[in-house]
């Protein structure tokens, strides 16, 4: 596999006008560089499908950037199953105040991630090859995030042991987010989770907003499954109760 920076780039789609409202003028050029990497090396290496290239901005880059609404300034962030760097690399480009660890078990993906981090000059990002469980008991983070990795009930088991006191899991989900949250009530109780809400990110910016499930670490300070066998504008829904939150 060649170095990401040496791949012959194909032409990625131009950023839509809304990208200039989401990304700062300083960060947008590097986001465009990352889009070019995804459109070429990402496709060649099988990290994204070729049909995704025309909708890179709307479906992937902007979609991931607005997830930062639920990430406090200066947070440490763990991106589980990072794949091609979504959402972790986008968040790093959009929010240089975040310190991000990309967790991915597959070598071909971590190779791409390491090369992309170097090509983009992201000194706030590190790459860990392994599964989430390899970090359990070793590391914790203010925010543990993921995108299209697993159903929420299974995701809780991978994510919650990595959440630091006062932190939260923030999972990117689709239109079924509220139903997944409701269906995971028993799992949330087993993990002793704190407040669990659905947040709609990108309201007033994106035509297609991003649905996030945020699960706070419980106040007990103990994260573990009881069954041994086993910041910005938007709208939030907490187990059937809908309300507007202020940033």
Q: Please report the pLDDT score of residue 223 as a whole number.
A: 54
Distance CA 235, CA 130 (A): 34
pLDDT (tens digit, 9 = 90+) per residue, 11-51? 788 999 999 999 999 999 999 999 999 999 999 999 999 99
Binding site members for S-adenosyl-L-methionine: 81, 86, 132-133, 147
Fold designation for 10-245? Rossmann fold (3.40.50)
Indicate the domain borders of the chain. 10-245
- N-term to C-term CA, the chain: 44
| 172 Cβ contact list (under 8 Å, min separation 6) | 63, 64, 67, 87, 145, 146, 147, 148, 210, 211, 212
pLDDT (tens digit, 9 = 90+) per residue, 89-118? 999 999 999 999 999 999 999 999 999 999
The reported pTM is 0.86
Binding site members: 81, 86, 132-133, 147
């Amino acid at each position: 596999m060649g170095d990401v920076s040496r791949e012959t780039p194909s032409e990625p789609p131009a950023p839509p006008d809304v990208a200039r409202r989401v990304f700062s003028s300083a960060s947008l050029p590097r986001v465009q560089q990352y889009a070019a990497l995804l459109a070429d090396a990402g496709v060649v290496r099988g990290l994204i499908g070729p049909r995704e290239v025309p909708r890179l901005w709307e479906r992937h880059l902007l979609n991931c950037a607005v997830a930062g609404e639920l990430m406090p300034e200066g947070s440490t962030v763990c991106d589980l199953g990072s794949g091609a760097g979504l959402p972790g690399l986008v968040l790093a480009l959009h929010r240089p105040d975040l310190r991000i660890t990309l967790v991915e078990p597959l070598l071909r993906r971590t190779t791409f991630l390491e090369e992309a981090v170097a090509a983009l000059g992201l000194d706030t990002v590190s790459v860990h090859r392994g599964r989430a469980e390899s970090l359990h008991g070793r590391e914790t983070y203010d925010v543990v995030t993921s995108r299209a990795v697993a159903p929420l009930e299974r995701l809780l088991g991978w994510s919650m042991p990595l959440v630091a006191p006062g932190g939260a899991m923030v999972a990117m989900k689709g239109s079924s987010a509220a139903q997944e949250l409701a269906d995971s009530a028993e799992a949330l109780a087993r993990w002793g989770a704190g407040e669990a809400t659905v947040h709609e990110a990108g309201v007033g910016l994106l035509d297609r907003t991003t649905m996030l499930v945020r699960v706070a670490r419980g106040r007990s300070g103990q994260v573990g499954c009881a069954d041994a066998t086993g910041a910005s504008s938007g709208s939030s829904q907490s187990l059937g109760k809908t309300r507007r939150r202020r940033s």
